[in-house]
Amino acid sequence: MDGVIALYKERGMTSHDCISRLRKILHTSKIGHTGTLDPNVDGVLPVCIGQATKISEILMGSGKVYQGEITLGVAYDTEDLDGKIIAQQPVETPLTDQEIDRALAQLTGDIMQTPPMYSAVKVNGHKLYEYARRGETIHRDPRQIHISRFNQIKPAIYNPTAQQQTIFFEVACSKGTYVRTLAVDFGKLLNLPAVMSSLTRIQSGGFQLSQCVTLKQVADAVADHNLGSVMRSLSEALAGYPGYQMDDSRWQIILHGGFLDPSISKNRDPIIRMDFEGTTRALYQFDAKRHVYRPYKMFLNKN
């Protein structure tokens, strides 16, 4: 049982809850997700099973895309609606689309971001949220992240009664980005408190929201002895890499962890996918110093 399930994580569940449920449904312990989603966030959660757990880091590093809302005029200690209000300031005059777009543009490219206190980042052996729950604030070093795009997807809505404004955005970002912190930083650029008021992950690990299945669909597929209808093979999950069909001689080289001549890839692709008998058996990485392709990830056992 080797492959990837593009799971739709519902709101109200932790990523760990999803893995626990899948362990029981699939009757396997060799399983892991590719990037935690907060309980109040829904969307794409790629889950690796069996030998596919070896590609978790690859899927995590492929970048993510989210759609959500930022509400201006109020701030929470958790940077989302799960916490307590810590600041309020009326938005007396609605921001124009141009003002919003300018602020969003300032948060694109390579930027530095300080992890929020309510996060699982460890400092001195303890997770930041453990300090936060005790009312402590710990120094956090900023980290570099990359924001490919951060833009509005429909007109903002102004609430004259609450004197708050909600913007609707899409963001494409690198691994390690805290979107709720982006929301807070966006507000700071406008001198307004802000909170991430809704978030959905629409792409992760190369999978789109439209490709996702629910826990119930997975359970139904197992009951029908049709797991293949909801689980993507290693070949499908790694389809973004150039693939090469091996003959018997190259298969023997790979079985013994040998190097491959660079002529196998005319374009000298950094990573190539090696297939044998219709199944991905390995990823090989180009070694510029040795001028060879060397083993990167091996999936030698047959499904």
Residues 199, 217 share a domain: no
Residues 110, 178 share a domain: yes
Angle (deg, nearest 10), helices 15-26 and 215-223: 0
Q: Is the pTM of this model over 0.95?
A: no
Higher pLDDT: 142 or 170? It is 170
Quick one: how far is CA 77 from the chain centroid?
Answer: 23
Given a cut of 50, whether residue 288 has pLDDT beyond it is yes
Domain residue limits at 268:
241-298
Which CATH number goes with the domain that contains 177?
3.30.2350.10
Residues 202 and 43: beta-carbon distance below 8 Å = yes
- 216 three-state secondary structure: helix
Distance CA 292, CA 289 (A): 8
Q: Which of 38, 42, 80, 185 is catalytic?
A: 38
Quick one: how far is CA 32 from the chain centroid?
Answer: 13
H or E segment and range at residue 247: none
Which CATH number goes with the domain that contains 255?
2.30.130.10
Residues 294, 254 share a domain: yes
Residues 175, 108 share a domain: yes
Tens-digit pLDDT profile for residues 30-63: 898 887 888 999 999 999 999 899 988 888 888 8
Mean pLDDT of the chain: 91
What b/e readout covers 159-189, taking b as 16+ CB neighbours within 10 angstroms?
eeeebbbbbbbbbbbebebbbbbbbbbbbee
Residues 131, 35 share a domain: no
The strand pairing partners of 80, in sequence order, are: 196
Residues 196, 71 share a domain: yes
Is residue 303 in some structural domain? no
Residues 70, 200 share a domain: yes
Tens-digit pLDDT profile for residues 98-108: 999 999 999 99
Write the single-letter amino acid at 227: L
Tens-digit pLDDT profile for residues 190-200: 999 999 999 99
Phi and psi at residue 251, to the nearest 5°: -60, -40
H or E segment and range at residue 13: none
- Range name among 86-95, 99-108, 153-162, 256-265 with the lowest pLDDT average: 256-265
Given a cut of 80, whether residue 302 has pLDDT beyond it is no
Is residue 276 in some structural domain? yes
Write the single-letter amino acid at 198: S
- Which tokens is 75 given? 């701030």
Tens-digit pLDDT profile for residues 68-88: 999 999 999 999 998 999 999
Given a cut of 60, whether residue 297 has pLDDT beyond it is yes
Residues 212, 125 share a domain: no
Q: What percent of the chain has pLDDT over 70?
A: 99
Tell me if residue 185 is catalytic: no
Distance CA 283, CA 299 (A): 8
